[in-house]
Amino acid sequence: MRIADDKVKQQFGGLNPKSFTHVEYFVPRTFGQCSWGGLGNVGCARPGEAQRPGACFTVIRDAFPTTRMHELGHNLVSLKDDQFCLKKHRQQRPHICKAPASP
Q: What is the pLDDT along the chain (103 residues), one digit of tens a residue?
A: 899 999 999 999 989 999 999 999 999 988 878 788 898 888 888 888 888 999 999 999 988 888 898 888 888 886 655 544 544 444 444 444 444 444 4
Give residue 47's pLDDT: 83
Question: Per the domain annotation, does 77 fall within a domain?
Answer: yes
Q: Is 14 left (phi over 0), alpha (psi -120 to 50) or beta?
A: left
10 in a domain, yes or no? no
Tell me, yes or no, whether 37 lies in a domain: yes
**35 within domain boundaries:** yes
Confirm whether 29 is domain-assigned: yes
- Supply the range of the domain harboring residue 89: 20-96
* Measured CA distances, 32 to 10, 37, 53, 99 (Å): 25, 11, 28, 31
What is the number of domains present in the chain?
1
Looking only at the bridges linking them, the beta strands covering 56-60 and 22-26 are parallel
Q: Please check whether residue 45 lies inside any domain of the structure.
A: yes
pLDDT of residue 99: 43
Please check whether residue 102 lies inside any domain of the structure.
no
